[in-house]
Structure 1
Amino acid sequence: MFVRGTSEEIWKPVKFAFEFTNDCRFEVSNLGRVRSFNKVADGRILNGSITEGYRVIRLKLYKPRDPDTQLSFDQLKEEISKLYKKRREKINNNDYSESIERVTKRLEMKKASLSKKLKKDLKSRTINHHFLIHRLVATYFLPKPKAGHTIVGHLDFDKMNNKLTNLKWMTTEENVIHQSKNPSVIAEKKWRKYTQKPRTKGAKLTSTQVIHIKKQLKRERPMKQIAKQFDISEMQVWRIKSGENWSRVTIPE
């Protein structure tokens, strides 16, 4: 059991709400690190990327193939195997009753068909999954006080410091108060006083726009594209997806 305030690094396995076929697993630590395990990497630390100052881990995972599709692929591979065998036998036996070129052409057509189907299948099974490291740490190491505490704040305002001791679950109101003390926010407010340029990016969304965003998220459209379309940040899209913001707006049945 981790005691808040200690420096010992403790790792916990990351669990997913869906099944995937990738031969890998992930762990998160109370010191804000994430590592992966697979055939070529045994505990490699993942640095991820930076989105609006937050460290994000992006994964490309694949859903299992359904039985009917798998059967179709197995049959096509069997046909290709038989054509390879037939061509090899004809060459070895100098049998030209059926043109070797004709067999080769059929073989290449089957291989092209398999390649095309594999690409389409892989695309349909792709899951572009990502998580914010600070939320991952809080989820696994920091009990949420109440359901209303949906935001994970950085106590020292440093978004790169994802250690457990620097994180706290907050309500929206608590986060607003906390951010009002953020030196960067204070500096930005001072800067705005001396500029006449209106800031339109990130303007408040309407309920209709949020419904459209949620529909696109349901279709697994990349959040970067959604953010660009609605002129908002990826973080805003992520918060809509996670339910931090606009949770009361749902997609009509």
Structure 2
Amino acid sequence: MTQHPTKTPQFFLTSPSTCPYLPDQQERKVFTHLVGERAPDLNDLLTQGGFRRSANIAYRPACETCRACVSVRILAEEFAPSKSQKRVLRRNADLVGTAYAAEPSSEQYDLFRDYLLHRHAEGGMAEMTVLDYAMMVEDSFVNTQIIEYRRRGPDSFLTGEGQGKLVAVALTDEMADGLSMVYSFYDPAEEHRSLGTYLILDHVKRARDVGKPHVYLGYWVEGSRKMAYKVRFQPQEHLMPDGWQRCTVGD
């Protein structure tokens, strides 16, 4: 009988459930645990293979009759913002993003709850408690950080930190070949800033500044309005059956 090493990751399959993106579809996911000293390398490998991370779980769609979910990554070194994206950058020039160790705070949770209430009140995360949020942020064995965005203060050029009210937050994994945006949220009262777009643009800059070629955005689903924004960041690659391929959808 073949003996498998105990450190080999074990994969599991969820039961079918209602798809949150496409009507009349059922979703299933294959998942494994990211724990121990090998977790960062495994997270890199699985993310490059189309998985996403949530706390200490890596998962990807494994639907029986649908292949609509496509992994997307921006080619950071080649990226040039469009005219509308340049306007978003100018609109948010008063913000400073500061990266910290992945530790939750009550201020983050208050913003998180406000975001969910206004943007995703019917979603599966709407009932998350402060303990659930803390687990999402700090239950990680991989190289992750939390980036807080605040308005620029009079001494930000010295401290490198923003000051005042928390406007947006991004939970981000640093991988060998890029940055993976695990989850982000922002103040719904600041809708005029287009903060969702701004956070992605900022991550492209951060990746480029440290010489990493990719920003991973998770899944794009053709036909889903929730996911349409992801293809606005060109050039990008999509994970296809033959591997990562340059794609110009949305140009």
Q: TM-score, normalised by structure 1?
A: 0.24
Structure with bigger helix share is: 1
Structure with bigger strand share is: 2
Greater Rg, structure 1 or structure 2? 1
Larger RCO (CA under 8 A, 6+ residues apart): 2
Q: TM-score, normalised by structure 2?
A: 0.24
